[in-house]
């Protein structure tokens, strides 16, 4: 079993060795797995063991390739970068921020308005994006209350996923890729829509998590020390923890406990 698990992990790590994703790589991995499985029909014990190890390698490789292709199938075109787009969709997951600014995941159901003179296939545009809504620095104003499951019509300027590469710094581009965001952007204006689509079970859970987090913050107030830590311990939301607190936790060796506490509680 240990050899099988090690082989699966090794196969899953193979795409890191590719400078570019080979053409039909997933199909080749599945084909290699199928051919290797046929070796199990040969009545030789040593050969069967080798076949099982190879099957684990190819299954791990196929899983990683499927993950990568799923992430790369929606590529935000450079021609639309920095232009005003109008989109409709819903808030996905717990937003972060307050009345002065918020960041949240957004699932796009439709691109309702594109710039004139730009020809793109709407079906290939990203469906899950990371948005920032902040008040103008010249005219400070309160932004609307953002809750999970809300449906909005937004005017957004998008950017392709990229980040600053600094030693020991946060890799924003890698984080966007891992979370499945095809682009990130800033909201210029928005209009809340009526809730027409039925809620899924995941949205129902996120809504209750939002209300629980809001109640904890109202009882403790944001200016209380470690209010964000308590939220993270109770429900696994680490966004409210200050970077200074994270440095203390990592220096004292308890950072991993903060990271998994809420997830263990929820499970």
Per-residue pLDDT tens digits for 19-46 = 777 777 777 777 777 877 777 777 777 7
Residues 118-163 pLDDT 10s:
778 888 889 999 999 987 655 566 788 898 889 999 999 999 888 7
Q: What is the three-class DSSP state of 35?
A: helix
Closest CA to 246 of 262, 257, 235: 257
What percent of the chain clears pLDDT 70, i.e. is strictly above it? 89
Residues 173-195 pLDDT 10s:
888 888 889 899 999 888 998 87
**Pairing verdict, β 184-192 and 128-134:** parallel
Structure tokens, 175: 């984080």
Structure tokens, 190: 């928005």
Distance of CA 252 to the CA centre of its chain: 29
Residues 221-256 pLDDT 10s:
656 667 777 787 777 777 777 777 778 888 888 777
Residues in the chain: 267
Structure tokens, 39: 């070796």
Q: What is the mean pLDDT of residues 46-50?
A: 79
Closest CA to 32 of 64, 56, 5: 56
Q: Is the pLDDT of residue 117 over 80?
A: no
Cα 24 from Cα 213, distance rounded (Å): 45
Q: What is the three-class DSSP state of 209?
A: helix
pLDDT at residue 177, as a whole number: 84
Q: Are 183 and 128 in contact (CB under 8 A)?
A: no
């Amino acid at each position: 079993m240990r050899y099988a698990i090690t082989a699966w992990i090794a196969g899953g790590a193979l795409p890191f060795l590719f400078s570019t994703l080979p053409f039909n790589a997933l199909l080749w991995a599945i084909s290699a797995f199928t051919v290797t499985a046929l070796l199990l029909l040969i009545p030789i014990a040593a050969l069967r063991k080798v076949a099982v190890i190879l099957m684990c390698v190819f299954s791990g490789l196929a899983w990683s390739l499927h993950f990568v292709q799923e992430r790369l199938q929606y590529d935000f075109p450079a021609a639309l970068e920095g232009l005003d787009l109008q989109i409709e969709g819903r808030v996905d997951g717990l937003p972060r921020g307050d009345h002065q600014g918020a960041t949240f995941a957004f699932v796009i159901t439709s691109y309702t308005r594109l710039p004139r003179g730009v020809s793109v296939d709407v079906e290939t545009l990203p469906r899950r994006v990371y948005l920032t809504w902040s008040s103008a620095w010249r005219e400070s104003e309160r932004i609307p209350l953002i809750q999970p499951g809300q449906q909005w019509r937004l005017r957004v300027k998008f950017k392709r996923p990229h980040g600053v590469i600094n030693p020991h710094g946060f890799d924003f581009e890698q984080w966007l890729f891992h979370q499945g965001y095809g682009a990130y952007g800033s909201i210029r204006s928005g209009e809340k829509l009526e809730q027409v689509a039925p809620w899924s079970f995941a949205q129902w859970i996120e809504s209750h998590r939002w209300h629980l987090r809001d109640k904890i913050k109202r009882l403790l107030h944001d200016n209380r020390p470690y209010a964000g830590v308590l939220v993270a311990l109770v429900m696994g939301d680490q966004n409210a923890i200050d970077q200074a607190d994270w440095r203390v936790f990592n220096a004292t060796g308890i950072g991993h406990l903060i990271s998994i506490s809420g997830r263990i509680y929820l499970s």
